[in-house]
Amino acid sequence: MPIEPPEIPPATPGNPSEPPPENPPGNPQPEIPPPIQEPGELPQPEELPGRMPDELPMRGPDGPRTPSPATDSDSPLARSESDMNPGEPEMPRGTI
């Protein structure tokens, strides 16, 4: 007398009986390539340090400085606040 296999119930709608196949099989993240590195080689840093100059510039001796036209009171460029906006009429100074 032959043995009959048990009856398999039909799949429930919305619940697949088998998981979907991987695409490609066995590789869950195909878009990320493996790192390219020779065996025994040290890993490359992600950002290289900047190039330092051979000699750093030295500051010159302390001597007389060139006058700045913006701060020199004898200069025509040193102006009062009213001269900053020449098209604006002068307003009386006071407190509010």
Over the chain, what is the mean pLDDT?
A: 68
CA 21 to CA 28: how far, in whole Å? 11
CB 78 within 8 A of CB 71: yes
Does residue 56 register a pLDDT over 60? yes
What pTM value is reported for the model? 0.13
CA distances from 68 to 1, 20, 62, 77 (A): 114, 77, 17, 10
